[in-house]
């Protein structure tokens, strides 16, 4: 657990004993902890059991405004977290206290160290609150670009040679994009709710930063929708290519069948168990051979002339 006191626009290491369960506006604290630690100190911080239960819940991302505090829970898709960001974060925010509960504390502790080392002025808890969301989404565009490039590579591969497992790859991408769509949709609603600032926890001058954040999330959401459309187009193009290949195979078999059909008729004709004049003709056998060759050649030339193959 890490506790910081916001003093002179910077975070100073402090202890849990300095935090009171009731709001004290002259002292503002930032607290970073794990979910197991929350269960043991929630009463000391004034966090009720309902909020603790919701923090431990693995549901979707959402923001809930209560009387005097806001509660946010975030669930990041694995494709976004990538072991660099927390998969699950809960945030308890009141006038004098900002608590982050997460399974990946280093992400937040590094953010605090960055603020201290780069002398970033923290005039309020709301500014660090925004800094967290900014850091959380700043490189998401790179993740979406990487997914787009992977889909593009798959498209090139099936153009060169049809891959039998391309559909499986596309299904995997569509599942990723579905989870991203749901995540950004929920995150967009959270950002809009933060802008409303129902409990007045964020200074008016800092609210404008969340408007910029909302626009960024909206763009990310739009990019995800575009990627879903792109993956659908690739799948449809792949299916069309399969149909074309199947048609080519069927065309080949049709040509072969058409060539041998008249030969089958000749064989059937001369295979009848009746007496024919050609049987006593010296050139009867060569005649049948020449006839078969002529019919086959004529059929192939006719197909070629009409561009049937």
Q: Delimit the domains of the chain by residue range.
A: 1-138, 253-305
- The long-range contacts involving 70-73, CB below 8 angstroms and separated by at least 24 positions, are 70/94, 70/194, 70/198, 70/199, 70/201, 72/190
67: buried, middle or exposed (CB in 10 Å: 19+, 13-18, 0-12)? exposed
pLDDT given for residue 100 in this prediction: 95
Instruction: Give me the CATH code for the 1-138 domain, please.
Output: 3.30.460.20
- Cα–Cα dist 42/55, whole Å: 11
pLDDT given for residue 141 in this prediction: 92
Rg (CA), the chain: 36
pTM of the model: 0.76
Residue among 30, 68, 71 nearest 49 (CA): 71
pLDDT given for residue 24 in this prediction: 62
Distant-in-sequence, close-in-space partners of 128: CB < 8 Å, separation ≥ 6? 11, 30, 98, 111, 115, 122
Strand duo 88-94 + 69-75: pairing: antiparallel
pLDDT given for residue 181 in this prediction: 93
Strand partners, 6: 11, 28
Choices 1.10.357.10, 3.40.50.10680, 3.30.70.260, 1.20.58.340: CATH for 253-305: 1.20.58.340
Here the tokens at position 305 are 């002339």
- Cα–Cα dist 123/110, whole Å: 19
pLDDT given for residue 78 in this prediction: 87
Strand partners, 88: 75
Strand duo 10-13 + 2-7: pairing: antiparallel
Strand partners, 13: 4
Residues of the chain with pLDDT under 70: 22-25, 159-165, 273-274, 278-279, 308-309
- DSSP annotation string for 170-208: HHHHHHHHHHHHHHHHHHHHHHHHHHH-TT--S-HHHHH
The alpha-helical segments, DSSP class H, found in the chain are 35-45, 49-56, 78-81, 105-117, 125-137, 140-160, 166-196, 204-270, 284-305
- Cα–Cα dist 49/188, whole Å: 27
Residue among 36, 2, 28 nearest 16 (CA): 2
pLDDT given for residue 251 in this prediction: 77
The alpha-helical segments, DSSP class H, found in 57-124 are 78-81, 105-117
């Amino acid at each position: 657990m890490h506790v910081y006191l916001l003093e002179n626009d910077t975070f100073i290491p402090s202890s849990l004993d300095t935090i009171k369960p009731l709001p004290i506006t002259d002292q503002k604290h930032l607290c970073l902890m794990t979910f197991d630690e929350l269960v043991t100190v929630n009463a000391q911080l004034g966090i009720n059991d309902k909020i603790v239960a919701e923090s431990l819940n693995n549901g979707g991302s959402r923001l809930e405004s209560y009387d005097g505090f806001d509660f946010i829970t975030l669930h990041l898709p694995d494709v976004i977290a990538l072991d660099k960001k927390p998969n699950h974060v809960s945030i308890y925010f009141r006038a004098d206290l900002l608590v982050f509960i997460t399974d990946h504390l280093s992400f937040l502790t590094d953010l605090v160290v960055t603020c201290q080392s780069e002398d970033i002025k923290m005039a309020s808890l709301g500014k660090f609150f925004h800094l967290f969301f900014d850091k959380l989404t700043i490189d998401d565009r790179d993740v979406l670009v990487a997914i787009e490039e992977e889909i593009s590579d798959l498209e090139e591969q099936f153009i060169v040679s049809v891959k039998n497992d391309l559909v499986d790859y596309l299904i995997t991408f569509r599942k990723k994009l579905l989870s991203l769509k749901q995540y950004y949709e929920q995150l967009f609603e959270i950002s809009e709710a933060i802008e409303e600032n129902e409990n007045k926890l964020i200074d008016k001058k800092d609210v404008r930063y969340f408007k910029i954040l909302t626009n960024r999330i909206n763009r990310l959401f739009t990019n995800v929708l575009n990627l879903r459309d792109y993956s659908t187009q690739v799948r449809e193009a792949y299916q069309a290519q399969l149909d074309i290949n199947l048609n080519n195979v069927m065309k080949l078999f049709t040509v072969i069948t058409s060539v041998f059909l008249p030969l089958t008729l000749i064989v059937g004709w001369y295979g009848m168990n009746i007496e024919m004049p050609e049987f006593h003709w010296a050139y009867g056998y060569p005649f049948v051979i020449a006839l078969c060759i002529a019919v086959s050649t004529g059929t192939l030339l006719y197909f070629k002339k009409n561009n049937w193959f």
